[in-house]
Amino acid sequence: MADGMAFSLRRRLVGQLLVLAAVLALVLSLAVRIGAERASEATLDAVLGAAAQGLAEEMRAEEGGVVIDMQPATFSMLAAMGEERIFYRVDVGEVTVTGYGDLPLPGMLPSALAPVFYTVPFRDAEIRVAAVARSLRVDGRASPVLVLLGQTREGQGAIASRLGLQAAGLGLAVFLAAIPLALLVARSLTRPIDRLAEAVGRRGPRDLRPVRHPAPRELVPFVTALNSFIGRLRGTLSQTETFIAEAAHHIRTPLAVMRNEAELALRQSTEESTRARLRGLIRSADDAARSAGQLLDHATVLYRADQADWAKLDLAAMTRAVATRLAPAAEMKDMDLALDIPAVLTCEGDAVLIEAALRNIIDNAIKYSPPDSVVEVSALATDRMAVVAVADRGRGLGQAEPARLLHRFRRGDNVGDVTGSGLGLTIVEQAAGAMGGTFRLRAREGGGTCAEFCLPLV
Amino acid sequence: MRRILFALGLSLGLAQSLAAFEVESTQDFGPEAPPRVLSVLSTTDTAILAPVITAYLAQTPGLGLRYVMASSQEVHRAIADEGAAFDLVISSAMDLQMKLANDGFALSLPADLVADQPVWSRWRDLLVSVAQEPVVLILADGVLRAGEDVPRTRRDLIALLRDNPDRFRGRVGTYDPAVSGAGYLFAAQDARLSDTFWRLAEVMGRLDARLFCCSVDMIDEVRAGRLLVGYNVLGLYTQAQGAEGITVVELEDFTLTLLRTALIPRTAPEPEAATDFMRFLLSAEGQALIASGDGLAAVEEAAFERNPHLRPIRLDPGLLANLDAVSRNRFLTEWRAAMEQP
């Protein structure tokens, strides 16, 4: 994966949560501020309007003009906490009779019932004006009366901005509180992912079972995809192994026929040069058959290791059987198979795997030992393991690291003329590993190799 | 007490050639030809503020102070109509000062200076009180006969006047609210606070009360014995001119307390110096000097707790209603009707 693509879900989640919290905090403080402004403006407008209406209502015409009763208490009240400036203007018949003649008039004429409110700049200040209209009978004629009452709203502005600041502080506190919360949320959200990754990561290299780990619903598609991938992989692998097994099987049978024919020909032939050729042919057929057998063994081991279908069985009897079956090959090289095996050695495993492993160990020992030597096959029970040890006086391990020889198609540097596939020891090691056992190679004192195949005792 | 130390000259009507408003007196304090001059426009007698001015100038070298005294109407006119260049305006006409501040002629004062002042003694950050003084009743010595108590309330005063019409006829004095701004303010506040005001007006009208423009005149008449009772007299002047021959009574139903307020006009050439001087006036030292001077009282909240009958005149835009010409005419009509009875 490229560096640019390696973003962190958790970091992204935390970032987005924080952005959300910041936006919420901002919206909160704005909403409180606007709400406070609206509410206080509505309240103050109501008071201002009532005062203007009161003033208008109390006006009356008397002899010699209009009587207006300016109540100091009204002005004091409008000064709201003594902080606001007050301006007023009374027009009768379009003539200003008292107050500030330069106070701006409203854009539209107010009705007698409801005051009109407007905001205008006046004498270095923004003022809120309530305008009330009525008519008054002056000298027998109806004259329109307009009462304007204005006040600054600095106190209101101060209160609104204080509330706004408080709300902003609250918003900031919410934002700060959101940081650890966001971290916590992000962690708890990504924990199932970590757990799943851990569960998958803990698996062995050959564990191709479907993932059954509990996953949150959102990860189910991912797990399903993973499982289907694993399934396809397993299918491909088993197809390959089946193919190899089939191929090996199909090669072995004609090889056997070919070997039999060659042997017959060898018996019937008298010409020495032909006989030598036929003997070479037989040896090559044997090698090919062995390689095919090993390929088959390898495929079998892989397949059965996956099945993990273990049963109780007697390792001693099986070792004896394999040794007996390989005895003719040893005899051909005038070698002795010395057996030191107890009557019964019960352990758990798969019979086919164990047989393939034992056959490969003993066959290897015979193959790499000189004629007239002895291969000792012994079996014993240690405290928890059943051990089958096969010791030879062969050419040993050479310079190679014992563990390296267990790799597939890896052969020692001293194999020389001996043909081999490099699969034998791999089969043994995989069989042992699959059943919970071990396989070790070590150099033997006085030359040769000792191979130890261990399985857990029941 | 302390007389003018640095008085350099008393030049009557010097500023009149420049400004249209009417000046009563002009006096310069401080060194000769100072580099900076603070100009103060005030309704308060020069002598009364002289101690605090000299004390201030003594600690600010290089500053001179020109003190111009005018009537409250002229002070208002100088600032509102003529934009006269003064740094500080001190006036006892609270309503006119309030109108100046309300109409935007005052500069904002520093927040720390304003914050130290009690709310009742200032309006916003524009207007602050530098002194307070009660509005009192004065009686000539010997006015009371044996067995008569000094009137403690307006009710007592009304009873005294009504019961002895012969003694008091033509010998009762009060402000003429039609002429005097302060007199109008006091009358309007009286009427606002109590209905006894109208009864008192009626009684005084029946006794052919004499009307005055100024406290000083009333005090002089009482001291001279031509007047027995002076109603709504500024306490300051009763003390300034010595209390001999008169009895000063703070009526217990309520006694108005006038606030002498100061503001810095927008047109001030030296607003910082004015602020500094105002700071001094409001400081403990300045207030002590004002209180120890000829009759002004320091702005003091405790005074109202000690004397619950003292009512500071509310320093807020309610005062603007007093100045409304139409309302004023209506009030004066009512007042005349009460005073002039058949």
Which chain A residues touch B325 with a CB distance below 8 Å? 98
Domain contains B85: yes
Give the bridge partners for A270, in sequence order: none
Is there a domain that residue B187 lies in? yes
Contact by Cβ (8 Å): A161, A33: yes
Token digits of residue A441: 């190679």
Query: Considering only CB atoms, which chain A residues are within 8 Å of B103?
Result: 85, 123
pLDDT of residue A189: 84
Once rounded to an integer, what is the mean pLDDT over residues B273-284?
94
> What integer pLDDT is reported at residue B15 of this predicted model?
39
Question: Does the CB of B326 have a partner CB in chain A at under 8 Å?
Answer: yes
Q: What is the distance between the alpha carbons of residues A221 and A236, in angstroms, rounded to a whole number?
A: 22
Burial category of B52 from C-beta neighbours within 10 Å (exposed 0-12, middle 13-18, buried 19 and up)? buried
Task: Please report where in the chains the tokens 């934009």 appear, as a residue.
Answer: B83
Q: Is residue B312 part of a domain?
A: no
- The encoded tokens of residue A123 equal 């004498």
Chain B nearest-CA distance from A30, in A, is 28
Contact B315, B149 (CB under 8 A): no
Contacts of A72 in chain B (CB under 8 A): 188, 192, 314, 318-322
Domain for residue B317, yes or no?
no
**B212 and B296, same domain (yes or no):** no
Give yes or no for residue B10 having a pLDDT over 50: no
Same domain, B244 and B277: no
One DSSP character per residue, A328-371 reads: HHHHHTT-EEEEE--S--EEEE-HHHHHHHHHHHHHHHHHTSPT
How many domains in chain B? 2
Do B147 and B180 lie in one domain? The reply is yes
pLDDT grade, residue B329 (50/70/90)? confident
Whether A165 and chain B come into contact, CB under 8 Å, resolves to no
For chain B, give the percent of residues with pLDDT over 70.
91
Q: Nearest CA to CA, how far is A191 from chain B (Å)?
A: 57
* Cβ contact B258:B299 at 8 Å: no
Cα nearest neighbour of A71 on chain B: B321
Q: What is the ipTM of this complex?
A: 0.77
In the predicted model, what is the mean pLDDT of residues B66-94?
Answer: 92
Distance CA B163, CA B161 (A): 6
HSE at residue B63, side-chain half, CA atoms within 13 A, is 20
**Do residues B12 and B77 both lie within one domain?**
yes
- Measured CA to CA in angstroms, residue A278 lies from A260, A266, A270, A420, B43 at distances of 11, 6, 11, 21, 147
Residue B192's identity, in one-letter code, is: R
Q: Based on the domain organization, do B217 and B267 belong to the same domain? A: no
Q: Are residues B326 and B251 in the same domain?
A: yes
Quote the tokens at residue A109. Answer: 């004429």
Q: Could you tell me if B124 and B271 lie in one domain? A: yes
Shared domain for B143 and B237, answered yes or no, is yes
Q: Which residue in B has a C-alpha nearest to residue A155's C-alpha?
A: B124
Please report whether residue B307 resides in a domain: no
Residues of chain B contacting residue A68, judged by C-beta atoms under 8 Å apart: 324, 326-327, 330
Residue B218 belongs to domain spanning? 134-257+322-339
Cβ distance A76 to B192 under 8 Å? no
Judgement on whether residues B212 and B331 belong to the same structural domain of the protein: yes
Is B315 domain-assigned? no
Shortest CA gap B111–chain A (Å): 14
Whether B117 and B140 share a structural domain: no
pLDDT at residue B19 greater than cutoff 60: no
- Among A63, A78, A86, most B C-beta atoms within 10 A, so best to mutate, is A86
Tell me the CATH number at B266.
3.40.190.10
Query: Which stretches of A63-195 are assigned E, i.e. beta strand?
Result: 65-67, 86-92, 95-99, 116-122, 125-138, 141-152
Q: How far apart are CA B248 and CA B236, in angstroms?
A: 11
Q: What is the mean pLDDT of each run of 10 residues along chain A (458 residues)?
A: 64 86 85 86 89 87 78 82 82 88 88 86 90 86 89 83 84 85 86 86 77 84 90 85 80 87 89 89 85 81 76 89 88 87 87 88 87 89 88 79 70 68 82 87 85 87
CB atoms < 10 A from the CB of A59, how many?
Answer: 18
Closest CB to A75: pick one of B124, B321, B326. Answer: B321
- Three-class secondary structure of residue A181 per DSSP: helix
Residue B276 in domain: yes
**Closest residue in A to B98 (Cα–Cα):** A85
| Residue B308 covered by a domain | no
- The strand pairing partners of B260, in sequence order, are B131
Same domain, B172 and B280: no
User: What sign does the dihedral A339-A343-A346-A351 (CA atoms) show?
Assistant: positive
Of B102, B315, B321, the CB nearest to A85: B102
* pLDDT of B13 above 60: no
Confidence of residue B52 (pLDDT cuts 50, 70, 90): very high
Residues B194 and B216 in one domain: yes
Mean model confidence pLDDT for chain B: 86
CB distance A70–B324 less than 8 Å? yes
A221/A223 Cα distance (integer angstroms)? 6
Structure tokens at A220: 């189910």
| CA gap A414, B333 in Å, rounded | 139
